[in-house]
């Protein structure tokens, strides 16, 4: 075991699992990488890439997008990644460059998770369990992100640097850790900030002021270099101001996840569940005297990330631009990582015992892995870490005295209550709100009864050593009532399966097929636009067509996705808001704006818009509606009209 500032304990629990065979270890990681990509999926030209790929295309071909509103911003230059990928795009296609970089990032992520787990446990089996647990993409509560995106982003590349910094920290290579923070800041500053906060706190509490200063200096240097780069390009962010007026309102509507006080209750429940599991696990481990030096250091790192998250909540409430843009609550992904590391060591020990309850807990962890639910992973972590010591010597509470016993019972009961509260949001197969929406009272009653019985039986069973009988039965009931996604997707077309579980399972397949059909229609229209619209012209399109630039290599008048950079620049925000109001893309309510993506404006309004925006050459319209306008062509259920003379 190892921890930052603690001596390594060599050989205590080390295993020869793939040790001494480097090529075999790398081959295993490569196989896990392919499995991870297959499990998460991969996409090009999706989601946030629609904000960055147009910049790369224009840097390589300046004739593209000559009067595009989005490309007046400079946020793509505030990461070295896009500049480097643009350069590589001159040597090969961007599709190939992105795929290769994504595979390399996936491999590097699992590589550093493996090394990090070995630094914690000095146990090869635990390291491979950690790799297995990190294959899915777990949802980070509240921030609309996962622990690993299904497409290339600076977030996942910044995550590689964050893992490398943590691995160096736990191996007491403080200089290397600071350098990794510097690199991570240049790649994705938002990911680097919570990690740096955790490292600074861990060093500071232990009185290691020089390493703390190195990390602080590295993060500051990265931020300063990026700011200077943006300022040199003439497009710096508005960092030190306060959001107010329409600027604040637009950012709240477009990027609501940046304002935790506006989150729906479900997101707060997810975050509370994660914190409750992490806190309960820490209490069990530390009060029981079982925490390793690495776990103690890890708790300090997590505490630093949580302090940064608290600062982010306060900053968003006050409207401080810098703290809102940093989105510091994204740092809670570190809690999920530390839970996975703790679970890997606990499962390695449990599975060596050969006991039924150890295998049952391993299967429960696999259920969390299969569904990609951080809550299930957190719950299985807490159980796996607590049970061995609660059952030790036939008396689970022998090592606990007086008040601590009551405290731990209360914490475990709290975890069960939070799980019950949270069940509606995490366990359904396809969508949380569908759990009680398909009209099968026996299923609803069975789930609630199972949870109530589990809450009533689990604590007495743990104390009496009867977990070997309770946990496997509970696990079987769990699979019966709420089968995991792989099982559901394999059996969704069986008549008996549909009768038992209704339409919840088939809904995912239908939705996916519909999305792919819509995507093909958009590509067909994009090809038509590319052939018939001159490069310098702009096109009014449905505002939800966020891939228009990539599909057509032409500039849209405005889309919803173009509002994402509004948080960085008040002037850009005002212009984007003016345009979406002109095309009536929102119904602006008091609390929430409702999108109206398929705008049906009178012909006269479209012609007036074209005349009023001659500077951007608004000359064409793509619509699903019929107009008495000159028709250029039709594809994918839409028509391309000419607005100009």
477 pLDDT band, cuts 50/70/90, is: very low
Mind spelling out the 3-state secondary structure of 258-297? HCHHHCCHHHHHHHHHHHHHHHHHHHHHHHCCCCCHHHHH
- Region 290-302: what's the mean pLDDT? 82
- Region 170-191: what's the mean pLDDT? 90
Q: How many CA atoms lie within 13 A of 75 on its CB side?
A: 26
Structure tokens at 383: 């159980």
Determine the length of the chain. Answer: 645
pLDDT at 160: 94
| Residue that the structure tokens 């994660």 belong to | 274
> What's the chain's average pLDDT?
73
Look at residue 490 and tell me whether its pLDDT is greater than 60: no
Domain end, chosen from 390, 406, 440, is at 390
Q: Which DSSP letter does residue 586 get? A: E
pTM here is 0.75
Domain end, chosen from 390, 419, 437, is at 390
Determine how many CB atoms are found less than 10 A away from the CB of residue 317: 14
C-alpha distance from residue 531 to each of 493, 526, 534, 613 (Å): 42, 9, 8, 23
Angle made by CA atoms 346, 347, 353, in degrees to the nearest 5? 100
Which of helix, strand or coil describes residue 240?
coil
Q: How many CA atoms lie within 13 A of 558 on its CB side?
A: 25
- Mean pLDDT: which of 169-173, 404-408, 420-424 is highest? 169-173
181 pLDDT band, cuts 50/70/90, is: very high
- Region 258-273: what's the mean pLDDT? 77
In this structure, what are the phi and psi dihedrals at residue 314, rounded to the nearest 5 degrees?
Answer: -65, -40
Q: What percent of the chain has pLDDT over 90?
A: 11
Residue 212, burial from CB neighbour count under 10 angstroms (0-12, 13-18, 19+): buried
Look at residue 287 and tell me whether its pLDDT is greater than 70: no
Listed residue (136, 129, 186) closest to 162, CA to CA: 186
Structure tokens at 466: 């009867």
pLDDT at 164: 94
- Region 473-491: what's the mean pLDDT? 49
Which of helix, strand or coil describes residue 637?
coil
Q: How far apart are CA 539 and CA 70, in angstroms?
A: 14
Q: How far apart are CA 316 and CA 325, in angstroms?
A: 9
Determine how many CB atoms are found less than 10 A away from the CB of residue 86: 20
Contacting residues for 560 by C-beta, under 8 A, at least 6 apart: 254, 543, 544, 546, 580, 585, 595, 597
Q: How far apart are CA 167 and CA 193, in angstroms?
A: 17
Where is pLDDT greater, at 173 or 465?
173
Helical (H) or strand (E) element with 593: strand 593-595
Weakest-pLDDT range from 104-118, 304-318, 459-473: 459-473
In this structure, what are the phi and psi dihedrals at residue 598, rounded to the nearest 5 degrees?
Answer: -100, 75
Q: How far apart are CA 474 and CA 481, in angstroms?
A: 10
Weakest-pLDDT range from 336-350, 544-558, 577-591: 336-350
Q: How far apart are CA 161 and CA 164, in angstroms?
A: 5
Q: Is residue 450 part of a domain?
A: no
34 pLDDT band, cuts 50/70/90, is: confident
528 pLDDT band, cuts 50/70/90, is: very high
487 pLDDT band, cuts 50/70/90, is: low
Q: Is residue 467 part of a domain?
A: no
Look at residue 461 and tell me whether its pLDDT is greater than 70: no
Domain end, chosen from 370, 390, 410, is at 390
Q: Is residue 579 part of a domain?
A: yes
pLDDT at 312: 84
Look at residue 218 and tell me whether its pLDDT is greater than 50: yes
Pairing label, strands 555-556, 586-588 = unpaired
pLDDT at 370: 44
CB 323, CB 243: distance < 8 Å: no
Residue 548 belongs to domain spanning: 508-642
Q: Is residue 431 part of a domain?
A: no
pLDDT at 201: 92
Contacting residues for 590 by C-beta, under 8 A, at least 6 apart: none
**Domain tally, the chain:** 2
Q: How far apart are CA 324 and CA 550, in angstroms?
A: 29
411-432 pLDDT per residue, tens: 444 444 444 443 433 343 333 3
Pairing label, strands 586-588, 631-635 = unpaired
pLDDT at 45: 84
| Residue that the structure tokens 């391993």 belong to | 362
Q: Is residue 501 part of a domain?
A: no
Q: Is residue 193 part of a domain?
A: yes
Weakest-pLDDT range from 143-157, 184-198, 398-412, 535-549: 398-412
CB 472, CB 499: distance < 8 Å: no
- Region 234-259: what's the mean pLDDT? 74
Where is pLDDT greater, at 577 or 275?
577
Residue 506, burial from CB neighbour count under 10 angstroms (0-12, 13-18, 19+): middle
Look at residue 335 and tell me whether its pLDDT is greater than 70: yes
| Residue that the structure tokens 């000559």 belong to | 66
Instruction: Verify that 167 and 304 share a domain, yes or no.
Output: yes
CB 36, CB 111: distance < 8 Å: no
Look at residue 234 and tell me whether its pLDDT is greater than 90: no
pLDDT at 280: 65
DSSP letters spanning 177-207: HHHHHHHHHHH-HHHHHHHHHHHHHHHHHTT
CB 77, CB 52: distance < 8 Å: no
Structure tokens at 205: 């509490």
Bridge partners (DSSP) listed for residue 621: 540, 641
Q: How far apart are CA 448 and CA 443, in angstroms?
A: 9
In this structure, what are the phi and psi dihedrals at residue 47, rounded to the nearest 5 degrees?
Answer: 45, -125
598-621 pLDDT per residue, tens: 778 888 888 888 888 888 888 899
């Amino acid at each position: 075991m190892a921890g930052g500032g603690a001596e390594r304990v060599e050989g205590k629990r080390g295993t020869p699992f793939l040790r001494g065979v480097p090529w075999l270890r790398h081959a295993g990681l490569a196989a896990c990488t392919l499995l991870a990509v297959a499990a998460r999926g991969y996409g090009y030209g999706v989601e946030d890439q629609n904000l960055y790929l147009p910049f790369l295309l224009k840097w390589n071909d300046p004739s593209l997008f000559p009067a595009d509103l989005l490309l007046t911003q400079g946020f793509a230059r505030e990461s070295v990644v896009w500049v480097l990928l643009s350069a590589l795009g001159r040597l090969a296609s961007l599709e190939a460059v992105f795929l290769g970089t994504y595979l390399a990032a996936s491999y590097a992520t699992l590589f550093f998770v493996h090394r990090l787990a070995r630094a914690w446990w000095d146990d090869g089996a635990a390291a491979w369990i950690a790799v297995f647990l990190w294959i899915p993409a777990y949802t980070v509560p509240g921030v609309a992100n996962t622990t690993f995106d299904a497409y290339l982003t600076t977030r996942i590349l910044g995550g590689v640097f964050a893992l490398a910094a943590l691995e160096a920290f736990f191996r007491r290579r403080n200089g290397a850790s600071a350098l990794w923070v510097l690199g991570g800041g240049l790649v994705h500053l938002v990911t680097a900030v919570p990690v740096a906060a955790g490292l600074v706190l861990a060093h500071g509490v232990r009185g290691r002021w020089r390493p703390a200063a190195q990390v602080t200096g590295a993060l500051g240097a990265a931020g300063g270099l990026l700011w200077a780069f943006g300022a040199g390009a003439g497009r710096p962010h508005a960092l030190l101001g306060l959001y107010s007026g329409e600027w604040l309102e637009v950012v709240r509507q477009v990027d609501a996840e940046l304002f935790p006080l506006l989150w729906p209750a479900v997101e707060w429940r997810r975050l509370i569940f994660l914190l409750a599991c992490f806190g309960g696990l820490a209490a069990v481990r530390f009060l029981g005297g079982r925490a390793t030096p690495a776990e103690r250091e890890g708790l300090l790192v997590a505490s630093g990330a949580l302090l940064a998250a608290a600062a982010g909540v306060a900053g968003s409430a006050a409207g401080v631009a810098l703290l809102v843009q940093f989105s510091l609550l994204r740092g809670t992904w570190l809690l999920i990582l530390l839970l996975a590391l703790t679970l890997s060591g606990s499962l390695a020990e449990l599975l060596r015992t050969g006991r039924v309850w150890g295998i049952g807990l391993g299967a429960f962890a696999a259920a969390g892995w299969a569904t990609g639910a951080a809550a299930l992973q957190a719950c299985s972590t807490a159980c796996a870490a607590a049970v061995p010591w609660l059952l030790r010597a036939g008396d689970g509470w022998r090592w606990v005295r007086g008040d601590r016993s009551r405290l731990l019972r209360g914490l475990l009961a709290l975890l069960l209550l939070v799980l019950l509260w949270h069940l509606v949001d995490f366990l359904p197969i396809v969508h949380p709100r569908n759990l009680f929406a398909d009209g099968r009272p026996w299923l609803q009653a069975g789930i609630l009864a199972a949870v109530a019985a589990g809450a009533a039986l689990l604590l007495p069973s743990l104390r009496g050593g009867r977990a070997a009988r309770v946990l496997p039965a509970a696990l079987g009931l769990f699979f019966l009532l709420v089968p995991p996604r792989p099982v559901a997707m394999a059996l969704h077309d069986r008549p008996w399966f549909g009768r038992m579980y209704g339409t919840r399972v088939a809904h995912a397949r239908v939705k996916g097929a519909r999305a792919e059909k819509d995507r093909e229609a958009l590509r067909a229209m994009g090809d038509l636009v590319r052939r018939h619209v001159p490069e310098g012209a702009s096109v009014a399109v449905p505002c939800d067509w966020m891939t228009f630039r990539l599909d057509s290599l032409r500039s849209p008048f405005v889309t919803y996705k173009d509002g994402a950079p509004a948080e960085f620049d008040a002037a850009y925000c005002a212009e984007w808001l003016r345009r979406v109001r002109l095309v009536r893309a929102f119904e602006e309510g008091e609390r929430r704006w409702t999108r109206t993506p398929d705008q049906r404006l009178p012909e006269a309004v479209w012609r007036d818009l074209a005349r009023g925006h001659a500077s951007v050459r608004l000359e064409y319209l793509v619509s699903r509606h019929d107009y008495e306008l000159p028709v250029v062509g039709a594809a994918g259920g839409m028509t391309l009209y000419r607005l100009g003379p």
